[in-house]
């Protein structure tokens, strides 16, 4: 790779990576400083192992170039080996590249054994130094990202699996379908009302797949403004737009090798759909502001409460995108159609709320159980979870009364007292809330009711600090 190509590549770097150079020769440090500066790196010099350790304690570094000899007339490489060993023990994620004018296979092997990531001979070739640095820094960043994602994913999986109930016949059939397709790479479309647990099922699909050890990345498509869509999914480079002060990895890149969950896909604006189609179809995209094409291997799970077939007929959703998403379709039943799951779910959420609020676990009386079974649950499992949380807070020590559930028998009409005396901004916020509530967070339908474009709705929601219903 040429120096010019490295200069171009440096424009795509997340931020200015700082390299620690440990060498007692001033001319060596100065030559490396000029080389690294041209390539877009910052540099800190340390003339001794002791100084190097001090610098490492003070700040963060993307890599370290470590000379093997410091004392006069020393050629054994022992000082460098000892420093590499100490760095590897104290900062195991830092890529260390050994340098020496007395190169030998034995010394290179020993340096790698002590923890060096690579080895460079003096006098060096500029292209070799930059190539090794770039590859080792990128690899280290990738491994750190994978570990963070893995830890977060393990936590999410533990949380997602908790409270999963499938005792009813509709849910048992659904679980059988999940079992059939989980170990494939087929894209899956989850359909169902808000609050039915589509996110939970997406987690379970990932857990049952060969990709389970790789990232599970979720995107709330319904919560993205059009201006953020491309940067969020595909990432951006520094300077791509006014506030892009550093590079950002997109969700497709984060999910490479794993599963990408596109929640509320029905709210994706038509003008953004071709970009998503290409990424799903070819596994290719470009970061916003960059020309280099990225390739990823991602399984896509999408979810929506919208009628996508109807959206296609209305010209609001691309038919070819629907075909790509809908390799296998699963319809998640609403809670009212899985009555055998209501009481087990209620007991689980009540116990969880009591633990969270440190309340004694009360008994569910027959009247409460009847009220739970008779309710139509328009908000589905999410509404049930909220009802049991209220019961935990309002119920007595030994028994919960049905009144503690505070269930609404039907959606009451919105009452707007004093509308004529409201300020314009307050009235606008009220209309926005009403439209979102009527259409259960579906932004496209809310915009149509209000007679405005979805982009205009986004701006008004941001202005009033509002958003659509939580995905579920």
Domain membership of residue 157 (yes or no) is no
Residue 66: count of CB within 10 angstroms of its CB: 26
Question: What number is the average pLDDT over the span 427-453?
Answer: 76
Instruction: Look at residue 266 and tell me whether its pLDDT is greater than 50.
Output: yes
Q: What is the CATH number of the domain that holds 13?
A: 3.40.50.2300
Whether pTM > 0.85 for this model: the answer is: no
33 and 59: one domain? yes
Domain membership of residue 220 (yes or no) is yes
Q: How many domains does the structure of the chain reveal? A: 4
> What would the pLDDT profile of 232-242 be if each residue is shown by its tens digit?
898 878 776 76
3-class SS of residue 303: strand
Of 61-65, 215-219, 377-381, 421-425, which range is least confident? 421-425
Domain membership of residue 472 (yes or no) is no
171 and 317: one domain? yes
135 and 106: one domain? yes
pLDDT of 324: 95
Q: Determine the Cα–Cα distance for residues 174 and 176; give it in Å rounded to an integer.
A: 5
Percent of the chain with pLDDT over 70: 83
21 and 83: one domain? yes
324 and 182: one domain? yes
> What would the pLDDT profile of 77-97 be if each residue is shown by its tens digit?
788 899 999 998 888 889 999
pLDDT of 457: 82
19 and 103: one domain? yes
> What would the pLDDT profile of 34-49 be if each residue is shown by its tens digit?
999 998 899 999 999 9
pLDDT of 77: 79
Among 98, 127, 142, residue at a domain's last position = 142
Question: What number is the average pLDDT over the span 111-136?
Answer: 86
Q: What is the CATH number of the domain that holds 198?
A: 3.40.50.300
190 and 320: one domain? yes
Domain membership of residue 151 (yes or no) is no
Domain membership of residue 148 (yes or no) is no
Percent of the chain with pLDDT over 90: 34
The secondary element (H helix, E strand) that includes residue 71 is: none
Question: What number is the average pLDDT over the span 155-183?
Answer: 74
Residue 332 corresponds to which tokens in the numbers above? Answer: 């998640």
Half-sphere exposure of 16 (CA within 13 A, CB side): 10
Q: What is the CATH number of the domain that holds 389?
A: 1.10.8.60
pLDDT of 444: 74
Q: Using pLDDT thresholds of 50, 70 and 90, give the confidence band for residue 224.
A: confident
> What would the pLDDT profile of 297-321 be if each residue is shown by its tens digit?
999 999 999 999 999 999 999 999 9
> What would the pLDDT profile of 9-35 be if each residue is shown by its tens digit?
443 443 468 999 999 989 999 999 999
343 and 321: one domain? no
Contacts of 417 (CB under 8 A, 6+ apart): none
Beta strands in 63-195 (DSSP E): 63-67, 96-100, 118-121, 188-191
Q: How far apart are the first and last CA of the chain?
A: 48
Half-sphere exposure of 211 (CA within 13 A, CB side): 26
With 0-12 / 13-18 / 19 or more C-beta atoms within 10 angstroms meaning exposed / middle / buried, residue 138 is middle
24 and 77: one domain? yes
pLDDT of 6: 43
Contacts of 343 (CB under 8 A, 6+ apart): 364, 369, 372, 373
Q: What is the CATH number of the domain that holds 446?
A: 1.10.10
More confident residue, 315 or 466: 315
Reference 251, options 228, 267, 272; nearest CA is 228
Q: Using pLDDT thresholds of 50, 70 and 90, give the confidence band for residue 386.
A: confident
pLDDT of 242: 66
Instruction: Look at residue 73 and tell me whether its pLDDT is greater than 70.
Output: no
Question: What number is the average pLDDT over the span 413-422?
Answer: 53
326 and 340: one domain? no
Domain, as residue range, for 187: 166-331
Among 300, 331, 362, residue at a domain's last position = 331
47 and 122: one domain? yes
Instruction: Look at residue 448 and tell me whether its pLDDT is greater than 80.
Output: no
Question: What number is the average pLDDT over the span 437-443?
Answer: 73
Question: What number is the average pLDDT over the span 142-166?
Answer: 53
Domain membership of residue 46 (yes or no) is yes
87 and 12: one domain? yes
Contact 34, 1 (CB under 8 A): no
Domain membership of residue 189 (yes or no) is yes
Domain membership of residue 105 (yes or no) is yes
């Amino acid at each position: 790779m040429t120096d010019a190509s490295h200069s171009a590549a440096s424009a795509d770097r997340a931020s200015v990576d700082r390299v620690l150079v440990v060498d007692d020769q001033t001319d060596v440090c100065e030559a490396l400083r000029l080389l690294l500066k041209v390539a877009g790196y910052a540099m800190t010099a340390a003339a001794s192992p002791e100084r190097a350790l001090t610098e490492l304690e003070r700040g963060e570094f993307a890599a370290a170039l470590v000379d093997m000899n410091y004392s006069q007339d020393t050629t054994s490489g022992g000082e460098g080996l000892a420093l590499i060993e100490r760095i590897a023990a104290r900062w195991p994620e830092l890529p260390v590249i050994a340098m020496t004018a007395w190169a030998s296979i034995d010394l290179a092997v020993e340096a790698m054994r002590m923890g060096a990531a690579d080895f460079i001979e003096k006098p060096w070739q500029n292209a070799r130094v930059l190539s090794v640095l770039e590859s080792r820094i990128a690899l280290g960043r990738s491994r750190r990202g994978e570990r963070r994602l893995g830890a977060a994913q393990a936590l999410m999986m533990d949380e997602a699996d908790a409270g999963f109930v499938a005792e009813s016949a509709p849910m048992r059939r659904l679980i059988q379908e999940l079992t059939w397709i989980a170990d494939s790479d087929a894209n899956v479309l989850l359909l169902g009302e808000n609050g039915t647990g589509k996110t939970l099922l997406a987690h379970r699909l990932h857990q049952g797949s060969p990709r389970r050890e790789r990232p599970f990345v979720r995107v709330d498509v319904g919560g993205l403004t059009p201006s953020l869509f491309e940067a969020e999914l595909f990432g951006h480079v520094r300077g791509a737009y006014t506030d892009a002060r550093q590079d950002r990895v997109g969700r497709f890149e984060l999910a490479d090798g794993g599963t990408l969950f596109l929640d509320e896909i029905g709210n994706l604006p038509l003008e953004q759909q071709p970009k998503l189609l290409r990424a799903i179809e070819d596994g290719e995209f470009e970061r916003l502001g960059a020309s280099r094409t990225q390739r990823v291997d991602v399984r896509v799970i999408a979810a929506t409460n919208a009628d996508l077939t109807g959206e296609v007929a209305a010209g609001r959703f691309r038919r070819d995108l629907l075909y790509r998403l809908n390799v296998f379709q699963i319809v998640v039943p609403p809670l009212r159609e899985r009555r055998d799951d209501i009481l087990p779910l209620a007991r689980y959420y009540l116990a969880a709320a009591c633990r969270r609020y440190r309340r004694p676990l009360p008994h569910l009386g027959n009247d409460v159980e009847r009220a739970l079974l008779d309710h139509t649950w328009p908000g589905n499992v999410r509404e049930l979870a909220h009802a049991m949380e209220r019961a935990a807070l309002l119920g007595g020590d030994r028994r919960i009364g049905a009144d503690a559930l505070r269930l609404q028998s039907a959606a009451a009409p919105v009452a707007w007292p004093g509308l004529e005396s409201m300020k314009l901004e307050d009235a606008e916020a009220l209309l926005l809330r009403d439209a979102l509530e009527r259409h259960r967070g579906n932004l496209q339908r809310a915009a149509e009711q209000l007679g405005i474009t979805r982009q205009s709705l986004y701006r008004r929601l941001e202005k009033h600090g509002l958003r659509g219903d939580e995905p579920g």
